[in-house]
Amino acid sequence: SGFLPPFPHFATHAIHYAQEPEQWNSRAVVPPITLSTSFKQEEPREDQPYVYTRYGNASRHILEEVVGTLDGAGGQRHLTDCANLAAADGAKYCE
């Protein structure tokens, strides 16, 4: 049928993957949904994990990890986009 067989405990894996409270300042067990569009920078030119939400945020990062692992991508993240035009533009760079 063209589809890979689902691995055992698919639903549990989809819900609980990447839920490690130690990675959040709030120590939340379930990853928080990030609503912020901009993030505080400690110093100019200092690399920050998130600067502006269109470039990435914690919620998108986890979604990319979960979709990648459910798709059997071998630990590689999938890409997500927050805008249709950005997704269409980004698709031309994928091979």
Distance CA 72, CA 51 (A): 29
Report how many domains make up the chain.
1
Residue 47 lies in a domain: yes
Mean pLDDT value across residues 86-93? 67
Residue 22 lies in a domain: yes
Residue 1 lies in a domain: no
pLDDT at 20: 74
Residue 3 lies in a domain: no
Distance CA 30, CA 94 (A): 31
Residue 29 lies in a domain: yes
Domain range for 24? 10-91
pLDDT at 5: 65
Chain segment 34-77, per-residue pLDDT in tens: 777 777 888 877 777 777 777 777 788 888 888 888 877 666 66
- CA-based nearest residue to 15, from 29, 27, 25, 26: 29
